[in-house]
Amino acid sequence: MKTYLVTGAAGFIGANYIKYILAKHNDIKVVILDALTYAGNLGTIAKDIDNERCVFIKGDICSRDVVDGLFAEYRFDYVVNFAAESHVDRSIENPQLFLITNILGTQNLLDCARRAWVMGKDEQGYPTWRKGVRYHQVSTDEVYGSLGAEGYFTEATPLCPHSPYSASKTSADMVVMAYHDTYKMPVTITRCSNNYGPYHFPEKLIPLIIKNILEGGWKKLPAEIIRVTTKRCTGNDSQFINIPIAIRIPISSILREVSPNMLFNFLPLYIFTIRFQVRK
């Protein structure tokens, strides 16, 4: 049986992920660690928590005592880190919160995993790791900055963040890779474009539009939708990818089937574009 520590799973993306892996795998145990901040909704995963296959712990990834305690109680095979402050506008209002959670929280998870998973040292003095363990960091395409008129982000694109949020996620990714380079820790990272799907927090674009339409009709929207189109993605478009394609299937496969120490980008093949006209 494989045991997962999944952080931030009361949020939109993490909740979809645990529902997927619990349905797909019978031979797993999932421990959820979530601080239940404004974007966390325990109701989303309430039916999944049975205290046998799925256990919920309210706590902060920045707390060494909390995370060390979980590693002492459970023999984790995988850590999947969804926990993050993730709204660009909020990062402009309170950048320090993003730096603390996204950078120091990630580092704390890595260090707790290192203490629990290292078995000794090899002939060169590098740590030797318990067989089959993996730390997976869920990142974002915003670490790459902005594209020009055409092209795609690739895994080799230089990192160029432009907001406190994207800078904090970039820093977290670099800390993850530093733990691999320094300690030979088995890690993977995924970077995805914008997601949409079930349980999406209503401050985001697509659920916000739907919510306003349902509650007040078209006139409640601050802008009028003048056209919705679907086309093949050209890389520089504003991209929204459906959550099963973006997160649930790829991460599940990466943990179990892909060698560690790799980075993956996920982009949609087709996108839909919403054009607005501000109401006068």
Nearest Cα to Cα of residue 266 among 183, 98, 153, 148: 153
- 68 annotated active-site: no
Catalytic residue among 141, 173, 179, 199: 141
Spatial distance between the Cα atoms of 7 and 80, rounded to a whole number of angstroms: 6
Spatial distance between the Cα atoms of 113 and 30, rounded to a whole number of angstroms: 16
Question: Do residues 17 and 45 touch, judged by C-beta distance below 8 A?
Answer: no
Alpha-helix runs per DSSP H in 145-204: 164-183
Catalytic residue among 34, 77, 85, 142: 142
Spatial distance between the Cα atoms of 277 and 33, rounded to a whole number of angstroms: 42
- 27 annotated active-site: no
Per the DSSP assignment, residues forming a β-bridge with 232 are 270
Catalytic residue among 165, 173, 179, 199: 165
Question: Do residues 216 and 128 touch, judged by C-beta distance below 8 A?
Answer: no
Q: Which residues contact 86 (CB under 8 A, 6 or more apart)?
A: 39, 140, 165
DSSP 144: G
- 17 annotated active-site: no
Nearest Cα to Cα of residue 164 among 101, 105, 96: 96
Residues with catalytic roles: 141-142, 165
